[in-house]
Chains A and B, each alone.
Chain A
Amino acid sequence: MIGRLVHLAAALLFAAVFAMPAAVALAEDSSQPDAYTPVEEFSKQLDAFKKSIPELNKKIEDSAASVDRWTDVNKARKEIEELRSIVGAALGAVSDNGPVSTLGTQALNHARGKLRALEQDTRFRTEEKEFLLEQWRKLREETERATEELGAARREFAELLRTLQSNEDFIDELMQVRQAQKALEVIQRLTKDIRDASDQLKKLIGAIKPPGV
């Protein structure tokens, strides 16, 4: 079960790490003032997010390994809580109202707006205009691809979080079973004690003989 988590995490990290650089590179190559806009901010955010991924991956692997080792449900639950916190933070970054996704939407809107504006622009010669349009089309496509990949990462993180919380719920149920077993043991011990006391009492009563019998 935990192995599956790690596999899932690795898959999404792979997607997150290798899908982003294209948009980042495009934005970094551009030296025009107009490029320094939501598009560049988005690429910076993606870059920062991408850099945080190896650390996240290591934390997930370490925690998953320790969960595998432990049979103590309390420790396992604590580890899963910590994993949920890590995955939750990552999901927060790429959630639809999170910082990276919001910038992605802004960047995409900006690129689309620039394309529309350039198509109407009469300041440039045809070849210049075509060159600029081509650059913005590339940028728009790369940004679209990056936001698509963010969407995939979002789905993976959400699924990972769901798996973790169902595992935690399962552990909670196990703990309840264990507690119920302990309660049952107490009741059984109490019943036995009462039976023993009753036997003792019966013996005592049996031993009492009225005078003269």
Chain B
Amino acid sequence: MRSLAAAGVALALAGCQPSTDVGYVEIKTVPVTTNVSQPTIYLDTIKVEPIRKGSAVLTQRVGTTKLATDGAGGQLTLCEIVVKKNRITTVTVTVLERPPRCQCRNTASGSRTCVS
């Protein structure tokens, strides 16, 4: 049991040094919501855990990723996020609007794309 756990720790620590290029996405929600009123948010089809205290930082592979929510006919893309190696891209989601709206800290010119 203990050796299994130790292996788990070793594996997890190996995860601290990512082998593929990764960057970070910071998702902020305004207003700061409780789990109950929070819309479901997806980052490239992967469901994001309910955001506590209005902010979450997620490790994400380098590239362009989609931020989406549940819509009438499936997932509805809110905006795109460009993730660069060892850089953080911040997006604020206004959750009171229906559908929620993205506000990029830095926006690529003339688009709904957030950049770092």
Interface residues of A (CB under 8 A from B): 36, 40-41, 44-45, 48-49, 52, 81, 84-85, 87-89, 91-93, 95-100, 103, 105, 151, 154-155, 157-158, 161-162, 165
Contact = CB atoms under 8 A, between A and B. Distances in A.
B49 A96 contact: yes
Contacts of B5: 36, 40-41, 44
A96 B58 contact: yes
A161 B86 contact: yes
B24 A158 contact: yes
B88 A36 contact: no
B53 A161 contact: no
Task: Say what secondary structure dominates the interface of chain B.
Answer: mixed
A97 B56 CA distance: 9
Interface stretch (B11-19, B31-39, B74-82): B11-19
A10 B116 CA distance: 25
Nearest to A87: B86
Nearest to B51: A96
8 closest Cβ contacts across the A-B interface? A88-B86, A99-B12, A84-B86, A93-B16, A96-B56, A95-B59, A99-B15, A95-B57
B8 to A, nearest CB: 6
Interface in B24-59: 24, 26, 49, 52-53, 55-59
